[in-house]
């Protein structure tokens, strides 16, 4: 590629999912790339998000397995969680991943600059490091600074923690209260309950996980309750108060709950403070997120933004996809275009949710006549384990075209199963093609190809 007049072809601010991917790929295509990171490489996903969360989810899964093992003839001593050992194992793995990220970047030829980055103009990034400040001149700048947990504005909320602190709590919480009803609230409530805490989940709305299929939301809420979670809906918190070592949570209506830890899981906001956006003329939305066009370009043509800082879809594969778009546009043929349709997602509760395509509510609004297939059953494993956990699988078919427009499940390994079916949905698979596909027996996933009798049919709305 042709060398420009700037010191750098690309300066990336933020070394999380989006930033690292963009920096590495751009450097591999011959660009001179610097990446500015204020904290640990890997960002939210590696350090305080997907990866440590999934490790703790695995840890919680063992507790379930120990319980179920008795049904299969195993005699076990009552298992005990060594919280310190779990934390240390997680920290060791995360440190390994930080190193892998660093090595990958260095091997690609990326210069890693440790410090706080901010825009000083359309082509300038100021880097504030411990030893002083420097200004980098770049042909293009990519902002990938991610997001940070928000606090809901409840009196006394400083007594509570956010998800960032949950992985390293000094003591395992015997009693945990979680505020919120989104991905993080549900996952952390389920994981910590699995690890042995008594958990109360307080959600202001009528059902958790807004945006997911209503039947799936109701089903997973029921399963979480069966597993022992005290899940309260339409529940408003008035304030938090210290009560010795504990925190008291006052609810509207007068009830008081006590917890060792209160987790605020009420959403995340884009990391834009101190970024110099106004100085460079980068436009923001009302919620602070950086405004971008379909090519992830901001209102300043030399500045791009991807990932959570644009608050479109806050998922790692989305940040990665957007980063690859930018690299393709700047240093490739520019044909790659992120498609936000058919985006699969999973919620790592126990049992988990896997989802791709439209919800039943969306399908009815967008497709006219819709045929719904569902099956709710006790998985084979639990016929002997004694667990009362049940599964739900659900297909939504556009009646006129026979195309499967939504696929959802609640059950073990939901994310693993739905990942595969996401390919079929993106490829436009019809119900007839699902029916023609042989099952793998005996599995939970085979239910998706053996659904024959519609549960209900909706006429055009």
Which of ligand NDP, ligand FAD, none interacts with 24 (beta carbon under 5 to 8 A by kind)? none
Quick one: which segment of 13-21, 128-136, 259-267, 357-365 binds ligand NDP (CB under 6 A)? Answer: 259-267
3-state secondary structure of 314: coil
Structure tokens at 20: 């690292």
CA 405 – CA 356 distance, rounded (Å): 8
Partner in contact with 181, chosen from ligand FAD, ligand NDP, none, beta carbon below 5 to 8 Å by kind: ligand NDP
Tokens of 81: 């969680």
Indicate the residue among 212 and 373 with the shorter CB distance to ligand FAD: 212
**Binder of residue 307, out of ligand NDP, ligand FAD, none (CB less than 5 to 8 A by kind):** ligand FAD
Using CB under 6 A, pick the residue from 112, 221, 347, 391 that binds ligand NDP: 347
Q: Is position 270 an interface residue for ligand FAD (rule: CB under 6 A)? A: no
Is-catalytic flag, 458? no
**359 interacts with ligand FAD by CB under 6 A:** no
User: Do 46 and 94 contact (CB within 8 A), yes or no?
Assistant: yes
Q: Is the CB of 310 or the CB of 399 nearer to ligand FAD?
A: 310
Question: 116 vs 40, 80, 119, 149, CA distance in Å?
Answer: 12, 42, 10, 19
180 binds, among ligand NDP, ligand FAD, none (CB under 5 to 8 A by kind): ligand NDP
**Residue 307 binding ligand FAD, by CB under 6 A:** yes
Confirm or reject binding of residue 15 to ligand FAD (CB under 6 A).
yes
Q: Work out whether 210 is an interface residue with ligand NDP (CB under 6 A).
A: yes
Q: Is 374 in the site for ligand NDP (CB under 6 A)?
A: no
Cα–Cα distance between 32 and 207 in angstroms, integer? 49
Whether the bond between 442 and the residue before it is cis, its omega within 30 degrees of 0, is yes
- Judged by CB under 6 A, the stretch of 38-46, 256-264, 288-296, 389-397 that binds ligand FAD is 38-46
The minimum distance between CB 234 and ligand FAD, in angstroms, equals 25
DSSP secondary structure string, 214-236? HHHHHHHHHHHHHTT-EEESS--
* C-alpha span between 33 and 274 (Å, rounded): 22
Closest CA to 120 of 14, 8, 12, 277: 277
Please say whether the beta carbons of 387 and 228 come within 8 A: no
Q: How far is the CB of 440 from ligand NDP (least distance, A)?
A: 25
The yes or no reply on residue 354 touching ligand FAD (CB under 6 A) is no
Q: Could you tell me which of 342, 354, 345 has the C-alpha nearest to residue 413?
A: 354
C-alpha span between 374 and 213 (Å, rounded): 12
Asked if 371 is part of the footprint of ligand FAD (rule: CB under 6 A), the reply reads no
Contact residue for ligand NDP among 109, 239, 267, 288 (CB under 6 A): 267
Distance in angstroms (rounded) separating the CA atoms of residues 306 and 18: 6
- Contact assessment for residue 133 and residue 126, using Cβ atoms and an 8 Å cutoff: yes
Exposure string for 400-414, b = 16+ CB within 10 A, e = fewer:
eeebbbbbbbbbbbb
Q: 182 touches which of ligand NDP, ligand FAD, none (CB within 5 to 8 A by kind)?
A: ligand NDP
- Work out what residue 13 binds among ligand FAD, ligand NDP, none; the CB cut-off runs from 5 to 8 Å by kind: ligand FAD
Please report where in the chains the tokens 């390919």 appear, as a residue: 423
Nearest-angstrom CA–CA distance, 394 and 18: 32
Interface size with ligand NDP, residues (CB under 6 A) = 23
Yes or no: say if 187 and 178 are a contact pair by the CB < 8 Å rule. no
Tell me which stretch binds ligand NDP (CB under 6 A): 12-20, 343-351, 430-438, 442-450: 343-351
Distance CA 160, CA 269 (A): 18
Query: Is residue 349 part of the contact set for ligand NDP (CB under 6 A)?
Result: no
Rounded least distance, CB 402 to ligand FAD, Å: 31
- Interface with ligand NDP (CB under 6 A), residue from 124, 271, 298, 314: 314
Residue facing ligand FAD at closest CB distance: 16
Shortest CB 368 distance to ligand FAD, Å:
32
Q: Which residues pair with 52 in a beta bridge?
A: none
Residues engaged in binding ligand FAD (CB under 6 A): 13-19, 36-39, 43-45, 49-50, 53, 116-118, 144-147, 163, 184, 271, 275, 307-309, 314-317, 319
Q: Enumerate the active-site residues.
A: 441
Residues engaged in binding ligand NDP (CB under 6 A): 152, 179-185, 187, 203-205, 210, 265-268, 314-315, 345-348
């Amino acid at each position: 590629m042709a060398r420009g007049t700037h010191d750098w072809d690309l300066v990336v601010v933020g070394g999380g999912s989006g930033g690292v991917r963009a920096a590495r790929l751009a450097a591999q295509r011959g660009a001179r790339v610097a990446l500015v990171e204020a904290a640990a490489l890997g960002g939210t996903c590696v350090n305080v998000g997907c990866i440590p969360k999934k490790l703790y989810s695995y840890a919680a899964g063992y507790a379930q397995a120990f319980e179920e093992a008795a049904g299969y003839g195993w005699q076990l001593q009552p298992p005990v969680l060594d919280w310190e050992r779990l934390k240390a194992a997680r920290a060791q793995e995360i440190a390994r991943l930080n190193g892998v990220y660093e090595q990958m970047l260095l091997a690609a030829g990326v210069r890693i600059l440790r410090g706080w980055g901010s825009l000083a103009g359309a082509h300038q990034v100021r880097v504030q490091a411990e030893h002083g400040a420097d200004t980098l001149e770049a042909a293009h700048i990519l902002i990938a600074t991610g997001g940070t947990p928000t606090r809901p504005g409840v009196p006394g909320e400083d007594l509570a923690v956010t998800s960032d602190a949950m992985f390293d709590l000094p003591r395992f919480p015997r009693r945990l209260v979680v505020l919120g009803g989104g991905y993080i609230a549900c996952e952390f409530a389920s994981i910590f309950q699995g690890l042995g805490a008594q958990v109360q989940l307080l959600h202001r709305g009528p059902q958790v996980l807004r945006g997911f299929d209503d039947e799936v939301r109701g089903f997973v809420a029921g399963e979480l309750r069966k597993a022992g979670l005290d899940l309260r809906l339409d529940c408003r918190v008035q304030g938090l108060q210290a009560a010795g070592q504990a925190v008291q949570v006052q609810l509207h209506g007068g009830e008081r709950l006590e917890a060792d830890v209160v987790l605020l899981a009420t959403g995340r906001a884009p990391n834009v403070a101190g970024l110099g956006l106004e100085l460079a003329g980068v436009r923001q939305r009302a919620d602070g997120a950086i405004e971008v066009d379909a090519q992830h370009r901001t209102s300043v043509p030399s500045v791009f933004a991807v990932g959570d800082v644009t608050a479109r879809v806050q998922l790692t594969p989305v940040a990665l996809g957007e980063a690859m778009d930018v690299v393709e546009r700047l240093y490739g043929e520019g044909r790659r275009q992120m498609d936000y349709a058919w985006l699969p997602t999973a919620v790592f509760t126990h049992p988990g949710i896997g989802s791709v395509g439209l919800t039943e509510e969306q399908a009815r609004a967008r497709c006219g006549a819709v045929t719904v297939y569902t099956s709710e059953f006790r998985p084979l494993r639990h016929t002997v384990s004694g667990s009362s956990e049940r599964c739900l699988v659900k297909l939504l078919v556009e009646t006129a075209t026979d195309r499967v427009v939504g696929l959802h499940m609640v059950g073990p390994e939901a994310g693993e199963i739905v990942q595969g079916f996401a390919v079929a949905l993106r490829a436009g698979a019809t119900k007839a093609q699902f029916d023609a596909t042989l099952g793998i027996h005996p599995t939970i996933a085979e239910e998706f190809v053996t659904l024959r009798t519609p549960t209900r049919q909706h006429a055009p709305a």
